[in-house]
Amino acid sequence: MPGGFGSFDELFESLTLVQTGKIKKHLPIVLYGDEFWNKVVNFDALVEFGTISPEDVNLVHRSDSVDDAFDYITAQLAEHSIDCPGIGL
């Protein structure tokens, strides 16, 4: 969701932990609201300037749809064998 400095801090801290392997379990990260996120974070520019690897762009899934976000998260959890009682995984 769109947010301020606190949201950016939480997002980038989570991305750093995933990128560096400090989080051992798979953590699907969804950026909800393409219009907002495309304007405020240019991941392609970060790749271009060499500050992140091209693969790092795949650490996030962008979505404008609650259904798409839910489907992505549940598919990722199922793919990575995380038990999700109550949602059929």
| 2/71 Cα distance (integer angstroms) | 21
**Per-residue confidence (pLDDT) for residue 24, from 0 to 100:** 85
Of 12, 43, 41, nearest in space to 29 by CA: 12
Each residue's pLDDT tens digit, 9-52: 999 999 999 999 999 888 999 999 989 998 999 999 999 999 99
Domains and CATH numbers, the chain: 5-79 (3.40.50.450)
Q: What is the Cα–Cα distance from 80 to 26, expressed in whole angstroms?
A: 7
